[in-house]
Amino acid sequence: MTGRRALIVVILAVAIVAVARGGHEVPIYPSYYPHEIELSAVTPERAAELLSTGKIQAYVGGVPRFAATPPASVDSVESLGSFVTVRVNPASTLLGDGRTACTIVDAVMHDLAGKGGALVFHPYPVTPFHGDYLHHVDLAEAAKAAAASPQPTGPDLQGLKLRAAGEVARSLVRAEWLAPASEWDAEVAAVGASDLLASAQLAMNGWLGPAWLRTGWFHAFLLLRQRIGDEALARRIDADLERLKAGDHGGAVERVNLERSFVAALAGNCRMRVAGYTVKREYFSTVFTAGIENIAFDALAGLNAPIFVRTVKLRDFPWNGWLALGVSGAPEAAWNPIAGFGDNFGRLMWSAVGDPASIPSPYESTWMLNRVTDVRAGAGR
């Protein structure tokens, strides 16, 4: 009898051990979220020194000015930098005598097609950095082939004058085409992708949005809608926008077709077109032990995104730790989630202190739950 009782005790002990859970850790790890984050406005020259010595772990929103090749302890990530656009001046003296906005913008686009350098020639507003690019890839390739093909003989454009807005644009425009600010036929400009996102983003009561903020079709609208001169076309575009926002379509196939026709209508406008994009490169320190690892970044916003500060892991801590970030540009915007946090510094600070229910998924046009995900157990669990 005693032996049987002992056996029962052993069996019960084994059963208990089989389902036991040990350790002091909590069952859910929110992230490697640092318990102290220091943000400092840093010049590009100073950023190179601080990164090389591990005194800051990353430089957000700018490019450090290294005296030579960055050291092996400094790495980088790439994201969408800016859209390069071509806009025709409606007051151009070239318009008329068979010369239209289309002939002017086509000539500029054809010239930009072979530039290289900072410009990735991509005459379509949805880029490979957008999560919905696969819905548009054939249209993008067709636009690229058409813009790069030999130009047919057309009206004389001798004396074409271009205005270049920004350093990137100036590097792309022929010196003989550069014109004074008051006399220009077309303008080449670079529109920052992060600034475009910030112009339409809302942050309120733990909510970020709108839901379509990160889609390529919406970025095409933000870039090009203001230059649509045809009133009938403008009304059609606005009506299609409301359908896309409201989900007023018959299913996934109809939605994708609506997005494609929506972007095609915007991209076909001769008053303003997208010529391509630039790639933004941001640097971070991997030096042991003061550097960081486990880098998650956003395809559109780069390091200035909620996913970065929620996943970055300092190398000398299992989790948490002290994170020092350099930021390009001093804070200028108001510090409140309704009317402020619109500059580079403010957006990064809000990513650190805000706690929205969902955050942008880093490589998609969709959103993900912040920290905790509802995972259904599979059949084998």
Kindly indicate the confidence band of residue 20, based on its pLDDT and cuts at 50, 70 and 90. Answer: very low
> Is residue 25 over pLDDT 70?
no
Average per-residue pLDDT in the chain? 84
150 versus 125: which is more confidently predicted? 125
32: pLDDT confidence band, cut at 50, 70 and 90?
Answer: low
* pTM, rounded to two decimals: 0.84
**pLDDT at residue 372 above 80?**
no
- At residue 6, the pLDDT reads 43
- Calculate what percentage of the chain has a pLDDT beyond 90: 48
Q: Average pLDDT of 190-198?
A: 90
- Asked whether the beta carbons of 276 and 112 are under 8 A apart, the reply is yes
CA atoms within a 13 Å half-sphere pointing along the CA-CB vector of 380 = 0
Helix, strand or coil for residue 358?
A: strand
For 237-282, give the DSSP string: HHHHHHHHHHT-SSSHHHHHHHHHHHHHHHHT-SSEEEEEEEEEEE
Q: Look at residue 16 and tell me whether its pLDDT is greater than 50.
A: no
User: pLDDT tens digits for 63-95?
Assistant: 999 988 899 999 999 999 999 999 999 999 889
Residues 6+ apart with CB under 8 A from 132: 126, 215, 216, 217, 259, 365
DSSP 67-136: SSSPPTTEEEEEEEEEEEEEEE-TT-TTSBTTB-HHHHHHHHHHHHTTT-TT-EE--SSS-TTSTTGGGT
Question: What's the pLDDT tens digit per position in 164-185?
Answer: 988 899 999 988 889 877 789 9
**Highest mean pLDDT, choosing among 78-92, 102-116, 198-212:** 78-92
- Answer yes or no: are the C-beta atoms of 350 and 64 closer than 8 Å: no
In 3-state terms, what secondary structure has residue 164? Answer: strand
- Which helix H or strand E contains 41, and what residues bound it? strand 36-41
Indicate whether 22 pLDDT > 60. no
Phi/psi at 322 (5° precision)? -110, 115
More confident residue, 84 or 155: 84
Of 136, 144, 40, 133, nearest to 80 by C-alpha is 133
* Domains observed in the chain: 27-73+286-369 (no CATH), 80-278 (3.10.105)
First to last CA, the chain: 38
pLDDT band, residue 24 (cuts 50/70/90) = very low
Per-residue pLDDT tens digits for 253-309: 999 999 999 999 999 999 999 999 999 999 999 988 888 887 889 999 999 998 998
pLDDT exceeds 50 at position 9: no
How would residue 380 be classed by pLDDT, with cut points 50, 70 and 90? Answer: low
302 DSSP assignment: B
